[in-house]
Amino acid sequence: MASSFSSQIDVIVNLMIRLAPRQVLDIGKGFGKYGFLLHEYYGIDNTKKPDPTRTLAEQSRVVIDAVESNPDYLWPHLAQFYRKVIRGRIEELYSGLSGYDLVLMLDVIEHIGKAEGAAIIRHFVSGGAAMIVSTPSEYFDQQLYESSDEHHVSFWGVSDISVLGFPFDHQTVGAGRVFLITPGPMDIRGFGNHPVKKLRRIARTLRSELFGR
């Protein structure tokens, strides 16, 4: 998908930073915002002077590759963020991709069939990668950018991720839901659907609103 819910940005960026990846695959990278944000908030060493003659990808401690099926979304600025952009549909490519410790599928999985989506998740998580998957919390179709790739063809709820058999956590954010799927149990502070975590987030929001901190 070319774009995604802006309400999820804080949650997804926080997850990426906490996971501290070294090799990342961004499936359906869209405009490339998460590639840029991962370099900005995690990859670039802010104790050193940056070099404006080199790309962010060349200066970052994290390597990010991308997969993109739509040639209309291959903008020149992507070379700043990604080591390479692999062209094609992830359903046809995933079995040949490995070596990543974090895989992003951000508002992408609803654009492919259920069987293919499940196979992609199993491939990467079984191979040792954590996955951040975001998707609408309710089904709707859409038409954007005059692209057939933008149609929704599946819906993914909590039960659909649960049956895959991997440890996972999730959080509803705005009109979407963010899943963290991992090879082994993992608890990320501040993220998740547990009532205690929800209460803590509410408390932090109230404290910020009332006391400005």
pLDDT per residue over 27-59, tens digit each? 999 899 999 999 999 999 989 999 999 999 999
Q: What is residue 153's predicted lDDT score, i.e. its pLDDT?
A: 78
Domain spanning 6-211, CATH architecture: 3-Layer(aba) Sandwich (3.40)
The amino acid present at 198, given as its one-letter code, is K
Q: Is the pLDDT of residue 139 over 80?
A: no
Handedness of CA 98, 180, 155, 109 (dihedral sign): negative
H helices within the chain, ranges in order?
9-19, 33-38, 56-59, 90-93, 114-126, 158-162, 195-211
Q: Could you tell me which of 195, 134, 198, 196 has the C-alpha nearest to residue 161?
A: 134
Q: Could you tell me which of 118, 113, 111, 156 has the C-alpha nearest to residue 137?
A: 156
Q: What is residue 190's predicted lDDT score, i.e. its pLDDT?
A: 85
Burial group, residue 155, by CB count within 10 angstroms (0-12, 13-18, 19+): middle
Instruction: Give the residue-averaged pLDDT of 122-136.
Output: 97
Instruction: Give the residue-averaged pLDDT of 183-207.
Output: 80
Q: What is residue 68's predicted lDDT score, i.e. its pLDDT?
A: 94
Instruction: Give the residue-averaged pLDDT of 113-124.
Output: 96
What tokens appear for 162 in the block? 């649960």
The amino acid present at 205, given as its one-letter code, is T
Q: Could you tell me which of 108, 100, 124 has the C-alpha nearest to residue 183?
A: 124
Q: What is residue 113's predicted lDDT score, i.e. its pLDDT?
A: 92
Cα 207 to Cα 199: distance, rounded to the nearest angstrom: 12
Q: Is the pLDDT of residue 90 over 90?
A: yes
Strand 102-106 versus strand 130-136 pairing type = parallel
Q: Is the pLDDT of residue 182 over 80?
A: yes
Cα 203 to Cα 43: distance, rounded to the nearest angstrom: 30
Q: Is the pLDDT of residue 203 over 80?
A: no
Instruction: Give the residue-averaged pLDDT of 71-98.
Output: 95
